[in-house]
Amino acid sequence: MDKSYHVVFMYGLTQLGFMFFFYPVDIIASTTEGHWVAIALGVAINMIVVWAYMKGLSYFPKQDIISIYLGVGKWAAILFLLPLVLFLILVNIITVRAFAEIITLVFLANTPAWAIMGLLLVISTYITLNGVNAIFRTGLLLALLFLPLILFTTIISFQNVDFRYLFPLFPNNFSFMTKPAYLNSFSAFAGNFLFLGFVQPFFSFSRKKMMVTLAALVPIFFLSVYLPLLTFGQATASTFKFPFVMLVSTIHINWLMFDRVTIFLLLSLITFTMLFISLLLWEASRILNRAVPKVKLNYFVIAVAGIIYGCCLLISNWEVIQAVVMWNTIFRFFVLFAIPFSILFIGLRSRRMYKDESV
């Protein structure tokens, strides 16, 4: 069954949370001028990687990446899937703990972090326990409910922009490419596209529609960085932990009955984030379930959620979160490049072998 719209909405929603919260601070910290170059480079790499991944998957209809790697051999499954499981768990730990920090800062200052993290994980785990179809149906519903709010918030964010902050347009060099902040910015890309390789046994999707979705998200990547820059300037924006949240906090609309527009943005993105957590939980549990098929999938979901919660409790402050993000750099780039291009290579090899056998 073709569920292209479910897939493209899921991809878009899971990108938005990272795009508005974490991506701007990394790009702003990585360079002081010509930010569009850093954004364009990251977006271009993302589009190439996703295209390569989908092209490789197209050679294996109705198969997920677990089956693809097992078809090559157990060594390939261990080599690629073990780092992938660790990456998925680490990303969930970072996501849950970081969003708990955001929620505490914005409007639940007196609520303990353990309670917020527990709520995020309980809801996400419940969605995951209902299966992949429930995750995607929830994604479609959330898209219809909250995407208009995101669009509204983005439009009114132009309220205080000063286009003189655009200059200088070009960076003096490309030293930003080696800075830790820029390497961290790839967190907005790595991990979001992986679910495409897990859903193929359940339903199909259009590669063309996925690429159109990627292209449609490109302006939002630029806006998430440039709206804070054009409002505060580089010197001020670089001091904020969450530049886009600070930007939305400055918006004032007389005709709106609510004082803080930030709440609209935050609540929308939190729902998208819980969806993202659910998806990663399902992916990690699927891999573990194939390794130990005698144990039910739902038991793995609960166990992984418990591990994530326990690790989140060990993270005491924002500095530790940033340290975990840095530790995840190796896994991040492994997943970003090794997984897609290995799938493409295996697909091309299988097609060549099939042609040789036909001859």
Phi, psi of 48, deg, nearest 5: -65, -45
Give the pLDDT of residue 308: 93
Per-residue pLDDT band for 39 (boundaries 50, 70, 90) equals: very high
Pick the CATH number of 4-358 from 1.10.10.10, 2.40.160.20, 2.40.170.20, 1.20.1740.10: 1.20.1740.10
Radius of gyration of the chain (CA): 20
| Number of alpha carbons in the 13 Å side-chain half-sphere of residue 47 | 17
* Nearest alpha-carbon partner for 263 in 154, 151, 95, 103: 103
Is the pLDDT assigned to residue 145 strictly greater than 80?
yes
Phi, psi of 248, deg, nearest 5: -65, -30
Stated as kind and residue range, the H or E segment containing 47 is helix 35-58
Distance, in Å, from the CA atom of 181 to the CA atom of 192, rounded to the nearest integer, reads: 19
What would the pLDDT profile of 60-94 be if each residue is shown by its tens digit? Answer: 888 889 999 998 888 888 899 999 999 999 999 99
Neighbours of 350 (CB within 10 A): 16
Per-residue pLDDT band for 340 (boundaries 50, 70, 90) equals: very high
Q: What is the torsional sign of CA 100, 318, 275, 4? A: positive
Report whether 213 contacts 48 (CB < 8 A): no
Give the pLDDT of residue 13: 85
- The domain locations on the chain are 4-358
Distance, in Å, from the CA atom of 115 to the CA atom of 127, rounded to the nearest integer, reads: 19
Average pLDDT over residues 26-51: 90
The tokens for 100 are 């708990």
Per-residue pLDDT band for 174 (boundaries 50, 70, 90) equals: confident
From residue 336, alpha-carbon distances to 87, 117, 183, 189, 339 in Å are 11, 27, 12, 8, 7
Give the pLDDT of residue 354: 62
Is the pLDDT assigned to residue 258 strictly greater than 60?
no
From residue 187, alpha-carbon distances to 19, 32, 94 in Å are 9, 20, 10
Per-residue pLDDT band for 138 (boundaries 50, 70, 90) equals: confident
Give the pLDDT of residue 1: 63
Average pLDDT over residues 138-149: 83
Please report the DSSP string for 55-93 in residue order: HHHHTSTT--HHHHHHHH-HHHHHHHHHHHHHHHHHHHH
Average pLDDT over residues 239-259: 74
Please report the DSSP string for 335-353 in residue order: IIIIHHHHHHHHHHHHHHH
Give the pLDDT of residue 175: 84
